[in-house]
Amino acid sequence: MLNATEKEQFIQEGFVVRKAFYSADEVAAINQAFMDENKEGPVAGLSDSIKAISPDDPLARFPRMMHPHRHPEKQVGQIALEFMLSPRLEPILRDLFEDEPIGAQTMFYFKPPGARGQALHQDNFYLRVKPGTCMAAWLALDVTDADNGGMRIVPGSHRNEVVCPEEADLNQSFSNHFVAVPEGMRAVDVEMQPGDILFFNGSLIHGSPPNSSENRFRRSLIAHYIPAACEEVGHWYRPLMRFNQDLVQKDFIDDGGPCGVMVSAPH
């Protein structure tokens, strides 16, 4: 459970970090499994199709993996499912939602040296949870800082509505959506150690700069959740799963995005 200080920070700023949430051995095992899975390059049906901007684009070799928990036949699938439904996460997420958390998505980012970042955005633009919003649990698997493209957030921006994004600079971001920092707010870097975990509200503006380091990956394992009381969620996120692995039915939205455009790929 969260203590009073952590809960207040989440209410006011939209995020909270738990230090040393996973052990060094657990982090090493996760990294090894995903590096082994990607040893021959992108994996059909698992790796995201990120458009390379040059022949030597690092993301052509190490794109993010989408929904690995849907592949129980693979070691990475078992790891992702165990992470998403970890009993360590459930009471914290329940406390943050003030509701039962439902697992919706997992992702693994390699983010090798030289890789582009992801422009500032809001997760619930993609998950489209109504009423309410989604929640992320973002596990750092390397030291993360501004140099290797660590997380960048806009504290307090979760109190704003989800906004229609602008076009991002694809030389800096692999995704083409960008949400500007609201007037009176500023983006800050969240420095983390391997095993630290960041929980954040689905309306929080966040992203990451390119990895400008010479030899450091910035790997992370992420899960997204929705509250049990919500009625709608984007169709990319089925099946939805309780922490006991029971499946949950919701209204799945499969028309255009909230800004009148098609959301062509899951977040």
Q: How far is CA 209 from CA 119, 145, 163, 171, in A?
A: 7, 10, 21, 11
**Predicted TM-score of the model (pTM):** 0.95
Q: For 108, how many CA atoms within 13 A lie in the half-sphere containing its CB?
A: 29
Is 50 exceeded by the pLDDT of residue 265? no
Domains and CATH numbers, the chain: 4-253 (2.60.120.620)
- Parallel, antiparallel, or unpaired: how do β-strands 232-234 and 251-253 relate? parallel
Is 70 exceeded by the pLDDT of residue 258? no
The predicted-structure confidence for 23-36, as pLDDT tens digits, reads as follows 999 999 999 999 99
* Residue 121: both structure tokens together: 């955005």
Reference 89, options 227, 209, 225, 180; nearest CA is 225
Q: What is the mean pLDDT of the chain?
A: 95
The predicted-structure confidence for 203-245, as pLDDT tens digits, reads as follows 999 999 999 999 999 999 999 999 999 999 999 999 999 999 9
Structure-derived torsion over alpha carbons of residues 50, 201, 80, 228, reported in degrees to the nearest 10: -120
Amino acid letter for position 118: Q
